[in-house]
Amino acid sequence: MQARLAEFIERLQQAKTLDDLRSSILSLRDHLGVEHLVYHSVNSTGQQYAALTYSPEWVDRYIGEDYARIDPVVQGCFRRFHPVDWKRLDWSGRSVRAFLTEALDAGVGNQGYSVPIRGPNGQFAMFTVSHRMPDNAWERFTSERVSDLILVAHFVNQKALEIERGTDFHAKQSLSPREVDVLTMLAMGLNRAQAADSLAISEHTLRAYVESARFKLGAVNTTQAVARAIAEGFVLL
């Protein structure tokens, strides 16, 4: 499975246009084995870009009714930094329940998982997978794939920014050799204790390097820092 994921990331890196990115989104949906996959970005000037697999009819309905103003997924992700399972969101309001009924009828799926992304210069994006399956099967799927979903979400976002090269483009900050070493170890799948032992440093020192690198990369957590370090060419696997 990891080999196939690495294959996808390599193909994604070759994308030159937004159409190429949409094709990658379709192939990723098939790779993950989910019914739908959505990437949606809004930059600091309000410009939007989306690559998704929902039906055109549902997309038109969603936009025409301005459902983003009540959609618990959009509203919830905008207030969060960490991934969220749709089951943990508030679907109790009358208008929200009506929206949910429409979404289910449109084939969106009864299960969903969204990764909020905050990019440079105020950019906000969401990466979402959804499917129809029982709760226990979905819980197993998300627990097994959470790291992959977060990693791919940030690769897709980085590629979208690279293609657009708009107001969200930003120059790289340089990482120190030790910061690169630390992120490389974590990218290889080592935990913090193993990485610290391999580099002959304490876990406390390793954490300091991680936090420094995270700040430079504008990442909200270690997983995102590793993803951005790979995407920007600091870490080569």
CB 96 within 8 A of CB 61: no
What's the pTM? 0.72
Say if domain 2-164 classifies as CATH 3.90.15.10: no
Burial call 47-81: b when 16+ CB within 10 Å, e when fewer: eebbbbbbeeebeeebeeeebeeebbbbebbeeee
Q: Using DSSP bridges, classify how beta strands 36-42 and 84-85 pair: parallel, antiparallel or unpaired.
A: unpaired
Measured distance CA(4)–CA(208) in Å, rounded: 33
For residue 156, give the nearest of 32, 15, 7, 47 by alpha carbon: 15
One pLDDT digit (tens) per residue for the chain, 237 residues: 566 777 788 888 888 888 888 888 888 888 888 999 999 998 767 778 888 999 999 999 999 999 999 999 999 998 877 889 999 999 999 999 999 999 999 999 999 999 988 776 677 899 999 999 999 999 999 988 887 888 888 888 888 888 876 544 555 567 888 899 999 999 888 999 999 999 999 898 898 899 888 888 888 889 888 888 887 778 876
177-231 CATH pick, 1.10.1270.20, 1.20.210.10, 1.10.10.10, 1.10.3720.10: 1.10.10.10
Domain limits of the chain?
2-164, 177-231
Note the pLDDT tens digit of each residue in 96-132.
999 999 999 999 999 999 998 877 667 789 999 999 9
